[in-house]
Structure 1
Amino acid sequence: MSATEYIKYHGLLLPPEAHTTESLEYAQNFCVEDTDVFAITYPKSGTIWMQEILPLVLNGGDLTPIHTIPNWERVPWLEEKQLARVVDKLASPRALVSHFPYSLMPPSFCTSKAKVIYVMRNPKDIMVSSYYFHQMAGFLEDPGTFEEFMDKFLEGKVMFGKWTDHVKSWRNSELGDRIMYITYEEMVQDLPASLRHISDFLGCNLTEEVIQKIAEHCSFKSMQNNNMSNFSLIPKVYMDSDKSPFLRKGIAGDWKNHFSSEQLARFTSVISKELEGEELGVCGSEKVDDVL
């Protein structure tokens, strides 16, 4: 598949297997409720993890949905065509995910009290994960060599455009106490602590016993073995796990096994320049160098 076969939406490239003109129009007209919770990510930043976490936090640790409902139905993407099919089945408070930049969120979102958890990940690890995803996903163009894919990533010629644009749009959203920032790396390092943070933000006040239960069932190994979460239900023509597993490693720092010193220098230089003056820490206190 070539890039020209992607849907181009406000300058962003989107795969037509999941997005249509109708689904994008539906997203713009979607009626966001005050109790809705959105997990917002740039692709390959922990979206599937949040689809596992949010239902369990919101329902007090009931494992039923993650064992009986595919993740794309239990926590659907705002912009994908699946949403219109399942929206009436979603229990309140509804959990949704999106890769949209802030500027493309529907008007009803801006006027609502809906909460957002923005998950940010080291862009080098995002690029590595995306590189392997492009190898196994039949609906995406072939990534070419690692060097070639890095060029596309830095130029924003990948799904949902530049990582830097996405991050800046949400870091400058001015949503106040409606938005919480967390990093993929924090979650990898201490998932129970991250779950407590999420629980407190959403006003769920979960007990320590429930926190530990959720952490156990949201571990990488548990999700890897859960057919409702590991995308094994998707036909091989769309996702070929023989080429690369969808849930590949679930770690932080795998980029160190892929970047040459020259590639690292160029990647860091480009990203740092585009984020010059930005503060990207979870609490707005860390500089770009701390994230990269």
Structure 2
Amino acid sequence: MQTLPDEFNRPPLKLVGGMPIIGPFADNWENVEHFQARADDLLISTYPKSGTTWVSKIVDLILNKGDMAESQKAAIFERVPFLECSGPGMPSATEILNKQDFPRVIKTHLQVDVLPKSFWDKKCKVIYVARNAKDVAVSYYHFYRMAFGHPDPGTWDEFLNSYMEGNVAFGRWSTHVKGWWKMRQQSDILYLFYEDMLEDPRREIQKLLKFMKWEISDEVMEKILKYTSFQAMKNNPMANYSTFPFMDHSISPFMRKGISGDWKTHFTVAQNERFDEYYRQEMADTDLTFRM
């Protein structure tokens, strides 16, 4: 792994609009906050480790009619820039996006209340993907271990406490998923679930197509299903983030398992009981439900 600049080697989180965020991202916040969306921008929003890259690759292939050669011309993080991303020695995503031609597909992990106002003003379409809280906790812990732009996660138990308290990048999982769930009632938002995508990816891609007002042939659908299987993406350097700086894949791969229920291999009985009680309290005020 490359030598990291000090300012991107386990920097502390900073707050923007009450939400914790990676330090160098916060330093570019003014450019994010004032980012000018366009009416035909397509935004992919998730809490971290909820299927962002998977949906990004699916959308990219839909727009390219299943042409993998076209989709492979650049890494997925270049084809679908991460709105709030910024770091030393690299152009910020806002700089990159401002130079991009139409149409733009943009990724974000921002909570709904801190998303730049221009996305709402322009009535942009948003694809939101949510994943169950326990699997997210496990996946996020391993991501924190290998992605050095984040603070040191400590032990699994220490990280789980931080996650429950919202002291992780992008804040509380519950705040994130509930905020976007509520916003779907008044904005053009397609709300998908990671577990549904695992269960029947063809069905969920059909939802995406309908939402995007796109049509593809059965042949293109088969290509997209093939190229966006977990194993295909894990083995694809243009999708698996192996070319992205500030990550050590020898600690934990960016694409680790891509399954549902892995939390059962990490949570102790005591941790699970504590989390279940926390979860009941956090989700008591919503009709949003998840499959664990």
**TM-score using structure 1 length:** 0.89
Is residue 124–residue 255 contact of structure 1 (8 Å, CA) maintained in 2? Answer: yes
> Is 1:25 matched with 2:35?
no
What do the CA deviations read for 1:137-173 (whole angstroms, capped 9, x no partner)? Answer: 2222222222111110000010111001111111111
Matched, 1:64 2:69: yes
The counterpart of 1:138, out of the listed 137, 148, 157, is 148
> Is the contact made by 1:20 and 1:80 (CA closer than 8 Å) also made in structure 2?
no
Cα distance in 1 for residues equivalent to 2:70 and 2:56 = 11
SS at match of 1:278: coil
Pairwise mapping of residues 11-160 of structure 1 onto structure 2 (< 5 A)?
A: 11-17=18-24, 19-22=25-28, 24-81=29-86, 82-88=92-98, 90-160=100-170
Q: Aligned partners of 1:28 and 1:200: how far apart in 2?
A: 30
1:232 and 2:239 equivalent?
no
Alignment TM-score, normalising by the size of structure 2: 0.89
SS at match of 1:5: coil
**Which of structures 1 and 2 has the larger relative contact order (alpha carbons within 8 angstroms, sep 6+)?**
2
Contact 1:32-1:112 within 8 A present in 2 as well = yes
Conservation of the 8 A alpha-carbon contact between 1:136 and 1:244: yes
User: Which AA in structure 2 matches 1:259?
Assistant: F
User: Size of the alignment, in residue pairs?
Assistant: 280
Over the matched positions of the two proteins, sequence identity in percent amounts to: 37
Q: Distance between the aligned counterparts of 1:213 and 1:243, measured in 2?
A: 32
Structure 1 pair 177/219, CA: closer, same or farther in 2 (3 Å)?
same
In structure 2, the CA distance between the partners of 1:113 and 1:60, relative to structure 1 (3 Å rule), is farther
Q: Return 5+ residue gaps in structure 1 as ranges.
A: 281-287
Instruction: Note if contact 1:65-1:74 (Cα within 8 Å) is conserved in structure 2.
Output: no
Unaligned runs of 5+ in 2: 1-7, 87-91
Distance 2:180 2:10 in 1: 26
Q: Which amino acid aligns with 1:189?
A: E
Shift of 1:3: 8.2
1:191 corresponds in structure 2 to: 201
Instruction: Please give the alpha-carbon distance, in whole angstroms, between the structure 2 residues aligned to 1:254 and 1:193.
Output: 23
4+ aligned runs moved over 6 Å, structure 1: 1-4
State the alpha-carbon separation in 2 of the partners of residues 133 and 107 from structure 1: 29
- Displacement of 1:220 in angstroms is 1.1
User: What secondary structure does 1:68 align onto?
Assistant: coil
Q: Is the 8 A contact 1:32 1:108 kept in 2?
A: yes
Report the CA distance between 1:187 and its aligned residue: 0.9
| Alignment match, 1:285 | none
State the alpha-carbon separation in 2 of the partners of residues 41 and 52 from structure 1: 14
